[in-house]
């Protein structure tokens, strides 16, 4: 058994995966450029600060890492994940999410690193024909973000054909919540995600939360998303590593709860959990938001034995609220 290289391990989902993998006794090295990630979230873990998209340097950084130590699986979380930003600045998304990923795969091929787990997304599906969404649903992404994630899924197929690198694509639905021990959580700058924004409003850090669209074809008119606790997501990666090490074939898995909540239901949950009021402002739709995204994760459950433990939205929100109360301004900047 070799070590694990975790790209983006200082970020939100990556840092939770590192924590869970560490608890299993894995030897881990994190590679992160700290553009989005936080040094504080990697406390006690070997951290290499490098940018995968820095083509002048990254090849030699990865070669040195792979030659110094035996890595048998790479977990690739690094990348940008803001839909709106990707529409405004697609070049950045192709350079980082595709170009940076290719630098990684090329270095893996050069150095004989045989397996990779990729953080993909439900945004690769676009507007679904049917919900819950199964893995073989057509992938028709609506944004540059979704297209760059799909492009890298396709690259993984070709690197398997040419170099035998086996992969798992985990297609995340809406990652939410924070580590129950209170030391890790969600800190995006600027924050765009619903649950931390509603928590900020409950804490009085912002005057209100905007509800993006109330005229969707859903029961209360607001968008429905499948919120999955970040520790449950992280735990799926442990199972993914085990599966690849045992010889599993390359494949894709949805990771969600199979149950959706509307934006207004999320606001109500934060009010219940925090015991505070939240002002909700109705605003127009955000471009590119499908009305409803709900996963079928049956395949992950059947094949990997994945069983999420945070089943209720309030339980997920409780951990997000706890983190917000401890770190109202997020991690320290150092
Ligand atoms: N949303 C909202 N107000 C906000 C942020 C998000 O109404 O300030 C909605 C958004 O339109 C979507 C849902 O909340 O339907 C979840 O959005 P988020 O950005 O958290 O995740 P995404 O679904 O974009 O990955």
- Are 106 and 113 in contact, with CB atoms under 8 Å apart? no
- Are 74 and 82 in contact, with CB atoms under 8 Å apart? no
Residue in the block written with tokens 């009010």? 271
How far, in Å, CA of 162 to CA of 173, rounded? 30
Ligand 1 centre to CA of 179 (Å) is 21
- Output the six-digit token pair for 286: 């955000």
Mutation test residue for ligand 1: of 123, 133, 193, the one with most atoms within 8 Å of CB: 193
Mutation test residue for ligand 1: of 186, 212, 281, the one with most atoms within 8 Å of CB: 212
- Are 157 and 249 in contact, with CB atoms under 8 Å apart? no
Q: Give the closest residue to 232 by CA, choosing from 251, 255, 258, 252.
A: 255
C-alpha separations of 149 from 35, 63, 202, 221 in Å: 19, 24, 33, 29
How far, in Å, CA of 189 to CA of 210, rounded? 17
Q: So what's the pLDDT on residue 333? A: 60
Per-residue pLDDT of the chain (334 residues; tens, 9 = 90+): 899 999 999 999 999 999 999 999 999 999 999 999 999 999 999 999 999 999 999 999 999 999 999 999 999 999 999 998 999 999 999 999 999 999 999 999 999 999 999 999 999 999 999 999 999 999 999 999 999 999 999 999 999 999 999 999 999 999 999 999 999 999 999 999 999 999 999 999 999 999 999 999 999 999 999 999 999 999 999 999 999 999 999 999 999 999 999 999 999 999 999 999 999 999 999 888 889 999 999 999 999 999 999 999 999 999 999 999 999 999 986 4
Per residue, the 3-state secondary structure of the chain, as one string, reads: CCEEEEECCCCHHHHHHHHHHHHCCCCEEEEECCCCCCHHHHCCCEEEECCCCCCCCHHHHHHHHHHHCCEEEEEECCCCCCHHHHHHCHHHHHHHHHHHHHHHHHHHHHHCCCEEEEEEEHHHCCCCCCCCECCCCCCCCCCHHHHHHHHHHHHHHHHHHHHCCEEEEEEECEEECCCCCCCCCCCCCCCCCHHHHHHHHHHCCCCCEEEECCCCCCCCCCCEECEEEHHHHHHHHHHHHHHHHCCCCCEEEEECCCCCEEHHHHHHHHHHHHCCCCCEEEECCCCCCCCEECECCHHHHHHHCCCCCCCCHHHHHHHHHHHHHHCCCCCCCC
- Are 260 and 292 in contact, with CB atoms under 8 Å apart? yes
Ligand 1 centre to CA of 211 (Å) is 8
How far, in Å, CA of 308 to CA of 285, rounded? 31
Supply φ then ψ for residue 279, to 5 degrees: -85, 125
In total, the chain counts a number of residues equal to: 334
For atom 14 of ligand 1, which residue has the closest CA? 194
> What residues are in contact with ligand 1 under a 6 Å CB criterion?
83, 174, 192-194, 197, 209-212, 223, 225, 263, 286, 289
- Are 128 and 76 in contact, with CB atoms under 8 Å apart? no
- Output the six-digit token pair for 87: 């529409």
Query: For residue 119, what are the β-bridge partners?
Result: 170
Ligand 1 centre to CA of 159 (Å) is 34
Atom of ligand 1 nearest to the CA of 123: 25
Backbone angle region of 5, left / alpha / beta, with phi > 0 → left and psi within -120 to 50 → alpha = beta
Mutation test residue for ligand 1: of 194, 260, 264, the one with most atoms within 8 Å of CB: 194
For atom 21 of ligand 1, which residue has the closest CA? 193
Active-site residues, by number, are 145
How far, in Å, CA of 248 to CA of 119, rounded? 18
């Amino acid at each position: 058994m070799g070590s694990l290289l975790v790209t983006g391990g200082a970020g939100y989902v990556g840092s939770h995966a590192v924590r869970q993998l560490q608890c299993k006794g894995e030897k881990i090295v994190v590679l992160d450029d700290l553009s989005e990630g936080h040094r504080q979230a990697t406390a006690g873990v070997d951290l290499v600060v490098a940018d995968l998209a820095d083509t002048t340097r990254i090849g030699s950084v990865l070669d040195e890492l792979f030659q110094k130590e035996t890595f048998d699986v790479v977990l690739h979380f690094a990348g940008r994940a803001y839909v709106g930003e990707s529409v405004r600045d697609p070049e950045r998304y192709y350079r980082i999410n595709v170009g940076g990923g290719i630098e990684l795969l090329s270095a893996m091929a050069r150095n004989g690193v045989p397996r990779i787990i990729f953080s993909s997304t439900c945004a690769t599906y676009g507007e679904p024909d049917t919900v819950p969404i199964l893995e073989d649903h057509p992938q028709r992404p609506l944004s540059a973000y979704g297209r760059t994630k799909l492009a890298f899924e396709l690259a993984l197929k070709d690197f398997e054909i040419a170099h035998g690198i086996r992969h798992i694509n985990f297609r995340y639905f809406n990652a939410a919540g924070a580590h129950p021990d209170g030391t890790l959580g969600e800190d995006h700058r600027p924050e765009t995600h619903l649950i931390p924004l509603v928590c900020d409003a409950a804490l009085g850090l912002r005057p209100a939360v905007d509800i993006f669209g109330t005229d969707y074809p859903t029961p209360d008119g607001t968008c429905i998303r499948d919120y999955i606790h970040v520790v449950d997501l992280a735990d799926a990666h442990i199972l993914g590593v085990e599966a690849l090490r045992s010889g599993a074939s390359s494949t894709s898995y949805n990771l969600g709860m199979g149950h959706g909540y509307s934006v207004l239901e999320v606001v109500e949950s934060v009010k219940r959990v925090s015991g505070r009021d939240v002002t909700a402002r109705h605003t127009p739709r955000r471009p590119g938001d499908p009305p409803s995204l709900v996963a079928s994760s049956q395949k992950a459950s059947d094949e990997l034995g994945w069983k999420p433990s945070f089943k209720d939205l309030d339980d997920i929100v409780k951990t997000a609220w706890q983190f917000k109360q401890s770190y109202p301004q997020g991690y320290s900047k150092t």
